[in-house]
Amino acid sequence: MTRVAIIGLGAVTRNIHLPAYKSLGARVTIVGGSDPDPAARARAAGLGVPQVFATPAEMMEQCRPELVAVCTPPALHREHVELALAAGCHVFCEKPLADSLADADAIVSAAARAGRQVVINNQFPYMRTHLAARERIGAPDFGRLLYLHAWHTLRPTDLTESGWRGGLTRRLGFEFGVHVFELIRFFFGATPTRVMAHMPRPDPATPWDAINLVGLDFADGRAASFLLDRVSKGTEHYLDMRLDGEHAAIHTSIGGQLRATIGLHTRERRPFADFRFVPGGRAVLTQGNRTRVLATDPQNPFASATARHFANFLDALERGAVPAGHAADNRNTLALVFAAYAAAERGAAVSLAEFAP
């Protein structure tokens, strides 16, 4: 059983981390949590965190954890990760890894000096839908992945603008685009070499980049692109992705659906009917007009994916192996974020080599 303490007891802890750790049963025991906000401490105690503290230093001294989950805003990640490493703990850190590449490099160096592992909770690759899609890449019915396009449409609310996100000026690509960049690296099994981006601000009342148009080139000629849109007042799409392979396409989506559709495939003059009940997401393989559901996700795919990612982390520690999603690898995802902002500001394509450690 691994003794886990949590720094930061806000929404991400309540809605994602605590349910994830609870689902792992006897593998994990929560020994304490810290947060400067008394209300956050009270809510966490009500959810079963046995000891809560105002400061992480006090928590570390009293609880003696083996592994620390850092669930604070990105600007505090370096401070809290280094505190946990200095106490001899492994670290499971929320994304984005840091709010600068310099801080990310400092975290990587601190982990190496301490001889401990820092893993970033970019959990989207561990959703069932994305795992199922990745398994089809290279299979005879899909072939090689050639191109990927993703799109995200969300209407801002008081909830989305609360907390650390609401204070960012470089916003959308940093707090959400980091998920898409990570998925692109996951599906292609490589890091893009060149980034192009356009980030217009059509609404002067919005102080941050409400639209991100990003294109990515790989060294072997393959490509990816995505659109993040928080201007549209139309139907929301939390995250949809289309993966185009040599022989088929895969469509993945995050977000619940209940939909019945009937229609006609005009080219073949063939009727069709489609009924969808999707609690949290699904992946569908498409070859022409033929479709097959590959996987679905539960209503809270973020918690279940975090549990899967965290369990893999524990497995790697038990084997003495390097875990997936470690800080040195995740720095490549963060570098893509900053490269995209640089490309948008310069109005020109940017080589990722410019953002190497």
Question: How confident is the prediction for the chain on average, in pLDDT?
Answer: 93
**pLDDT at residue 260 is higher than 50:** no
Tokens of 85: 């490493």
Q: What pairing do the DSSP bridges indicate for beta strands 223-229 and 211-217?
A: antiparallel
Percentage of the chain lying above the pLDDT 70 cut: 93
Q: How much is the pTM?
A: 0.93
pLDDT band at 165 (very low <50, low <70, confident <90, very high): confident
- Is the alpha carbon torsion for 71, 77, 81, 84 positive or negative? negative
CA dihedral of residues 310, 311, 313, 316 (deg, nearest 10): 180
Report yes or no: 130 and 283 within 8 Å, Cβ to Cβ: yes
Q: State residue 258's pLDDT score.
A: 41
Average pLDDT over residues 280-309: 93
Q: State residue 167's pLDDT score.
A: 83
**pLDDT at residue 259 is higher than 90:** no
**pLDDT at residue 57 is higher than 80:** yes
Task: Provide the residue type at 136 as one letter.
Answer: R
pLDDT band at 265 (very low <50, low <70, confident <90, very high): low
Closest CA to 19 of 304, 331, 232, 245: 304
**Residues in contact with 85: Cβ distance below 8 Å, sequence separation at least 6, in sequence order:** 91, 110, 111, 113, 114, 116, 118
Q: State residue 270's pLDDT score.
A: 61
Report yes or no: 122 and 280 within 8 Å, Cβ to Cβ: no
The 3-state DSSP composition of the chain as helix, strand, coil percent (nearest 5) reads 40, 30, 30
Q: How far apart are CA 103 and CA 338, in angstroms?
A: 13
Range of lowest pLDDT (54-63, 133-142, 229-238, 250-259): 250-259
pLDDT band at 11 (very low <50, low <70, confident <90, very high): very high
Q: State residue 261's pLDDT score.
A: 47
Average pLDDT over residues 223-229: 98
Percentage of the chain lying above the pLDDT 90 cut: 83
Q: What is the DSSP string of 10-55?
A: SHHIIIIIHHHHHHTGGGEEEEEEE-S-HHHHHHHHHTT-S-EESS
pLDDT band at 312 (very low <50, low <70, confident <90, very high): very high
Q: How far apart are CA 47 and CA 218, in angstroms?
A: 45
Average pLDDT over residues 160-166: 79
Average pLDDT over residues 22-26: 96
Average pLDDT over residues 240-256: 94
**pLDDT at residue 287 is higher than 90:** yes
Average pLDDT over residues 185-199: 98
Average pLDDT over residues 286-300: 92
Q: How far apart are CA 255 and CA 264, in angstroms?
A: 26
Q: Three-state SS for 293? A: strand
**pLDDT at residue 175 is higher than 60:** yes
Q: State residue 142's pLDDT score.
A: 98
Q: How far apart are CA 229 and CA 218, in angstroms?
A: 24
Q: What is the DSSP string of 87-152?
A: TT-EEEEPSSS-SSHHHHHHHHHHHHHHT--EEE---GGGSHHHHHHHHHTTSTTT-SEEEEEEEE
Q: State residue 275's pLDDT score.
A: 43
Q: State residue 268's pLDDT score.
A: 60
What is the Rg, in whole angstroms, of the alpha carbon atoms belonging to the chain? 21
Q: State residue 295's pLDDT score.
A: 96
Tokens of 294: 């590959």
Q: How far apart are CA 151 and CA 149, in angstroms?
A: 7
Q: Three-state SS for 3? A: strand
**Residues in contact with 338: Cβ distance below 8 Å, sequence separation at least 6, in sequence order:** 101, 355
**Biggest distance spanned by C-alpha atoms of the chain:** 71
